[in-house]
Amino acid sequence: MWQQLLQQMQQGDIKALARSISLVENEFPGYESLLQTLPTVHSKIIGITGPPGAGKSTLVDALIGQLVEAGKKVGVLCVDPSSPFNLGAVLGDRIRMSNWYTHPNVFIRSLATRGSMGGLHPKIIEITDLLKAFQFDNIIVETVGVGQSEIEIAGLADVTVVVVVPEAGDEVQTMKAGLMEIADIFVVNKSDRPDADLFVRNLQQMLAPAFSKHYNEVPVVKTVASQNEGIKELLAIIKNQLQKSHLTDKTFWLLAERAFYLIEQKRMKGVDKAILKKEIEAAYTKGSFNLYKFVADK
């Protein structure tokens, strides 16, 4: 079954890809066999992240348009926030990308974070590797904007694009060094708004001290994604950064991050939030509930 699915994927069967993602996402018995037979494919992953309202989905939509126009096959994963109560996606499929859902060269999958603290889907690494096996020319992962924990995308993407808007001055001021350093490219979207140029200059000044620590200088690109302005320039910079991302020490740190995440997931496999909730409820009703004692007894 798994070998057949893999062959169908490699032959360009989009239904086989969608089915494989569902089987992995839901941990269908034996799904590890499929993952362990995946070929080594060096497709590059473009990570798009940033605070809510920055226009990430509109930006991704515009990038898809440029790539399709160039004859490229594009795989897109949109990671939506999920409800803490039922773990379903809050936003669902992205309406802004609806034009591409039936396009033969575009595959879009919306995933819920399912309570993952880092803003990514718990099976995101496995699913991106399935997309690599399908041999898309470009893979884009758009993450939910959840602040500092967006740093998790750096362990997945070969190039990380952080999207902000001119009004985000206060947010950028409070950004920790980690988030500033994971950005390979900063995009100031909605740059037709007032004070955009001033914001760009301030951002460049803030980035200057990080140059000595960062493996590359961080470009700042102005876009108006809704009008398709600056998208060609952004795509050219992304391609340039991807070409630079050859084997370096960072490559192995990223692989170590992915390995750590997978090991962590495997060790936590027996922990079920729904069961925890019931156990906590039972313990709480008895009185004198102590969270730390409860955890220590697990």
What long-range pairs does 193-201 form, CB within 8 A, spacing at least 24?
193/165, 193/166, 193/167, 194/166, 195/166, 196/166, 196/222, 199/166, 199/168, 199/169
Confidence of residue 207 (pLDDT cuts 50, 70, 90): confident
What is the per-residue pLDDT for 105?
93
Query: What confidence tens digit (pLDDT) does each residue in 174-206 have?
Result: 555 555 667 889 999 999 998 899 988 888 887
Confidence of residue 216 (pLDDT cuts 50, 70, 90): low
Query: What confidence tens digit (pLDDT) does each residue in 53-102 have?
Result: 888 989 999 999 999 999 999 999 988 754 434 444 444 445 566 678 78
What is the per-residue pLDDT for 148?
44
What is the per-residue pLDDT for 94?
52
Which position has the higher pLDDT, 77 or 247? Answer: 77
Range 41-249: architecture per CATH? 3-Layer(aba) Sandwich (3.40)
Listed range (44-48, 123-127, 256-260) with the worst mean pLDDT: 256-260
What is the per-residue pLDDT for 154?
67
Secondary structure letter of residue 50 according to DSSP: -
What is the per-residue pLDDT for 262?
81
The residue extents of the domains of the chain are 1-38, 41-249
What region does 8 belong to: left with phi over 0, alpha with psi -120 to 50, or beta? alpha
C-alpha–C-alpha distance, residues 140 and 239, integer Å: 13
Confidence of residue 10 (pLDDT cuts 50, 70, 90): confident
Longest dimension (CA), the chain: 64
Determine the residue type at 187. Answer: V
Burial class (CB in 10 A: 0-12, 13-18, 19+), 39: exposed
Mean pLDDT, residues 249-261: 75
